[in-house]
Amino acid sequence: MEKQDVALSLFDPSGETTEKIIDNKAGYQRARERQIALMRKGLDLGAAGKNLLTREELHARR
């Protein structure tokens, strides 16, 4: 452990270094952006943009 890491650990009660915190935030941000892009693009559910069932058929009670 380097001197700066020891100094940080004295002031950081959780034991995480600033670098780990920044890496975690950057990873979260990348994952968030990736998921938002996926939602905007949408998923191919195989229906070719057509409704296969009517609303009534979807909610029909049997």
- Looking at the domain assignment, is residue 58 inside a domain? no
Residue 31: per-residue pLDDT: 95
- Looking at the domain assignment, is residue 7 inside a domain? yes
Residue 35: per-residue pLDDT: 97
- Looking at the domain assignment, is residue 56 inside a domain? no
Residue 28: per-residue pLDDT: 94
Cα(13)–Cα(18) distance, integer angstroms: 12
Task: Find the angle CA(40)-CA(44)-CA(48) to the nearest 5 degrees.
Answer: 115
- Looking at the domain assignment, is residue 52 inside a domain? no
- Looking at the domain assignment, is residue 59 inside a domain? no
- Looking at the domain assignment, is residue 61 inside a domain? no
For 11-46, write each residue's pLDDT tens digit.
656 666 778 888 889 999 999 999 999 999 998 888
- Looking at the domain assignment, is residue 25 inside a domain? yes
* Structural domain count, the chain: 1
Confidence of residue 48 (pLDDT cuts 50, 70, 90): confident
- Looking at the domain assignment, is residue 55 inside a domain? no
What is the residue range of 25's domain? 3-44
CA separation, residue 59 to residues 18, 46, 50, 54, 56 (Å): 52, 21, 18, 9, 5
